[in-house]
């Protein structure tokens, strides 16, 4: 730690790096660059102690905190309870599902998004149960009832990257829309959606098929507070489009889908669907544990979170940290408090850290590039660094870096995290130089109006310059 702060502000930007920025095509944007060597010394410093909007590079902070508080082997548990008894081929009483924040009950890590419902259906079938004479209850009390962090923009909330958080969640809290424009020009394209065209959502299909030489124009909007989704895209004839679109009331979506799956498999449910936030004595003998599903360990979930920049996983994990650390219902605010305490323990002045969420999607998030570099440096000596490092995308190979840096010398030599939102493009991580030096690099571009590809090009030039001269 001392090595880092022995040179905290002395790094000066080289003339070549300064020229790449100030003579480049986005020179009128705000730029910050921090480069740290293997001893923690700041060797390139361009506005690195100014506040920036980090976008999804903020996930580097929250990932480190999650590993610290929960441990790499932490597993989420989703428990299926029976309240009642089996009588012949019927379960007489309620079935209750306790959600504890698992973000991975989906197809991200499993071949079939319905895997858990299939497992539970097979359980009932093995017991000879063909009818549930009672309600299906989804308990969501592990988290608070605030669906979004503060500061998210309303027009993001229809899409997969702006979904609600809920302790009982399924399929990333989205329906997966498919659109096939194979009809006549001027007609409405056909649609279908997963799971099984569920009536849990209503689509108002006002899309139109255009001539095949026209471009695709996307327009999706969920009417906020409802599960009515308005489709107004124009699609060239023959075009196929897929889009995950958010739902509201995720816990009801979970149990509604479960009931429909049961009924498709021949198990009838006679009662109602109920969601509740009631505190229960889970050790009470009235709650019979029928099955406990355990997620993949946290270090596997962190890979999905970072390599694919998964906002949903991040926000669910943030509330989980709050619930586990403070022994209360998980909230974004308590999660942020825990993350800031972690940063303070790493020697970072949190007076220069403003957080509104865990994923970096709120424009009000602020931090310094130098502080992000310091965290990456401190993590190299952390007990969980192996898992932290393996969660990062690899230049030209995986995750959000898969399609960048091709035909570049930094391919396979930069491991990091990208960030993007309107007017913000960032990248941060670990670079192995041509001469074998290990550098930590953070590049942030804020307030730009150029195309994102232009900014990416400048970021690549900076990384290639650092690769070649150090």
Instruction: Give 210-257 as a DSSP string.
Output: E-TTSPPB--EEE-TTSSEEEE--EEETT-EEEEEEE-S-HHHHHHHH
Tokens for 308, please give them. Answer: 């694919």
Read off the pLDDT of each residue in 388-416 and give the average, rounded to a whole number: 97
Q: What is the pLDDT of residue 10?
A: 55
Name the residue with tokens 């408090």. Answer: 337
For residue 6, pLDDT beyond 80: no
- Rounded-to-integer distance, Cα 253 and Cα 147, Å: 14
Tokens for 354, please give them. Answer: 């403003």
- Rounded-to-integer distance, Cα 377 and Cα 380, Å: 6
Q: What does each C-alpha distance from 344 to 27, 59, 371, 469 come to in angstroms?
A: 34, 17, 11, 33
Domain 77-146+251-296: which CATH class? Answer: alpha beta
pLDDT confidence tier of residue 8, bands split at 50, 70 and 90? very low
CA 220 to chain centre: 20
Min mean pLDDT across 160-169, 228-237, 273-282, 332-341 is at 273-282
pTM (predicted TM-score)? 0.95
Domain 2-73+299-469: which CATH class? Answer: alpha beta
Residue spans in the chain of domains classed CATH 3.50.80.20 = 77-146+251-296
Query: Among residues of the chain, what percentage have pLDDT more than 90?
Result: 96
Residue 160 in contact with residue 298, Cβ under 8 Å?
A: no
For residue 221, pLDDT beyond 60: yes
Which tens digit of pLDDT belongs to each residue from 442-458? 999 999 999 999 999 99
Query: What sign does the dihedral 375-379-384-385 (CA atoms) show?
Result: positive
Residue spans in the chain of domains classed CATH 3.40.710.10 = 2-73+299-469
Reduced to 3 states (helix: H, G, I; strand: E, B; else coil), residue 377 is helix
For residue 1, pLDDT beyond 60: no
Read off the pLDDT of each residue in 46-75 and give the average, rounded to a whole number: 98
Reduced to 3 states (helix: H, G, I; strand: E, B; else coil), residue 300 is helix
- Rounded-to-integer distance, Cα 446 and Cα 51, Å: 10
Write the DSSP symbol of residue 293: E
- Rounded-to-integer distance, Cα 351 and Cα 339, Å: 13
For residue 80, pLDDT beyond 70: yes
Read off the pLDDT of each residue in 119-128 and give the average, rounded to a whole number: 97
Name the residue with tokens 């209360």. Answer: 328
List alpha helices for 13-142, DSSP H: 15-22, 59-70, 115-126
- Report the C-alpha dihedral over residues 274, 280, 286, 288, rounded to 10 degrees: 80
Q: What is the pLDDT of residue 11?
A: 64
Q: What is the pLDDT of residue 14?
A: 86
Q: What is the pLDDT of residue 111?
A: 87
For residue 44, pLDDT beyond 70: yes
- Rounded-to-integer distance, Cα 132 and Cα 145, Å: 29
Residue 378 in contact with residue 347, Cβ under 8 Å?
A: yes
Name the residue with tokens 């008894």. Answer: 85
Residue 261 in contact with residue 121, Cβ under 8 Å?
A: yes
C-alpha Rg value of the chain to the nearest Å: 24
Which tens digit of pLDDT belongs to each residue from 291-317? 999 999 999 999 999 999 999 999 999
- Rounded-to-integer distance, Cα 422 and Cα 402, Å: 21
- Rounded-to-integer distance, Cα 427 and Cα 401, Å: 10
Q: What does each C-alpha distance from 320 to 179, 308, 334, 407 come to in angstroms?
A: 36, 20, 10, 41
* Maximum Cα–Cα distance across the chain: 82
Name the residue with tokens 């230049």. Answer: 395
Read off the pLDDT of each residue in 390-413 and give the average, rounded to a whole number: 96
Looking at the DSSP bridge assignments, the partners of residue 429 are 416, 441
pLDDT confidence tier of residue 9, bands split at 50, 70 and 90? very low
Pick from 146, 141, 172, 142: nearest CA to 159: 172
Query: What sign does the dihedral 407-410-415-421 (CA atoms) show?
Result: negative
Query: Among residues of the chain, what percentage have pLDDT more than 70?
Result: 98
Residue 159 in contact with residue 172, Cβ under 8 Å?
A: no
Q: What is the pLDDT of residue 279?
A: 87
Looking at the DSSP bridge assignments, the partners of residue 354 are 366
For residue 385, pLDDT beyond 90: yes
């Amino acid at each position: 730690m001392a090595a880092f702060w022995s040179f905290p502000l002395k790094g000066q930007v080289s003339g070549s790096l300064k020229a790449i920025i100030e003579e480049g095509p986005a020179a009128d944007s705000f730029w910050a660059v921090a480069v740290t060597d293997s001893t923690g010394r700041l060797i390139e410093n361009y506005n690195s102690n100014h506040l920036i909007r980090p976008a999804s590079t903020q996930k580097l902070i929250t990932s480190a905190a999650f590993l610290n508080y929960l441990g790499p082997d932490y597993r989420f548990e989703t428990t299926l309870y029976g309240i009642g008894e089996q009588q012949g081929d019927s379960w007489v009483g309620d079935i209750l599902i306790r959600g504890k924040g698992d973000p991975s009950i989906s197809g991200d890590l499993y071949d079939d998004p319905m895997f858990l419902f299939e497992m539970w259906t097979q359980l009932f079938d093995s017991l000879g149960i063909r009818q549930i004479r009672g309600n299906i209850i989804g308990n969501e009390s592990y988290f608070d009832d605030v669906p979004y962090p503060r500061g998210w923009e309303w027009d993001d909330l229809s899409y997969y990257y702006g979904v609600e958080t809920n302790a009982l969640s399924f399929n990333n809290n989205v329906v997966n829309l498919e659109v096939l424009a194979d009809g006549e020009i001027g007609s409405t394209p056909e649609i279908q959606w997963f799971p099984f065209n569920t009536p849990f959502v209503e689509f108002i299909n006002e899309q139109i098929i255009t001539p095949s030489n026209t471009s695709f124009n996307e327009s999706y909007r969920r009417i906020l507070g409802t599960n009515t989704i308005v489709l107004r895209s124009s699609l060239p004839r023959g075009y196929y489009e897929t889009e995950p679109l958010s739902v509201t009331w995720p816990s009801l979506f979970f149990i509604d889908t479960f009931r429909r799956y049961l009924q498709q498999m021949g198990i009838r449910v006679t009662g109602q669907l109920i969601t509740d936030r009631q505190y229960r004595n889970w050790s009470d003998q009235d709650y019979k544990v029928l099955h406990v599903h355990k997620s993949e360990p946290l270090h596997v979930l962190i890979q999905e979170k970072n390599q694919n920049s998964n906002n949903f996983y991040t926000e669910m994990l943030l509330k989980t940290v709050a619930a586990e650390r403070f022994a209360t219902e998980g909230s974004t605010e308590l999660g942020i408090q825990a993350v800031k305490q972690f940063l303070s323990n790493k020697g970072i002045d949190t007076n220069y850290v403003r957080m509104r969420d865990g994923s970096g999607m709120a424009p009000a998030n602020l931090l310094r590039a130098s502080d992000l570099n310091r965290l990456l440096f401190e993590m190299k000596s952390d007990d969980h660094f192996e898992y932290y490092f393996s969660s990062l995308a690899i230049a030209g190979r995986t995750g959000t870096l898969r399609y960048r840096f091709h035909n570049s010398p930094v391919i396979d030599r930069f491991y990091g995290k990208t960030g993007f939102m309107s007017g913000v493009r960032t990248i941060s991580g670990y670079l192995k130089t041509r001469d074998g030096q290990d550098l930590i690099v953070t590049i942030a571009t804020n307030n730009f109006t150029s195309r994102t590809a232009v900014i990416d090009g400048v970021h690549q030039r900076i990384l290639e310059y650092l690769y070649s001269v150090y």
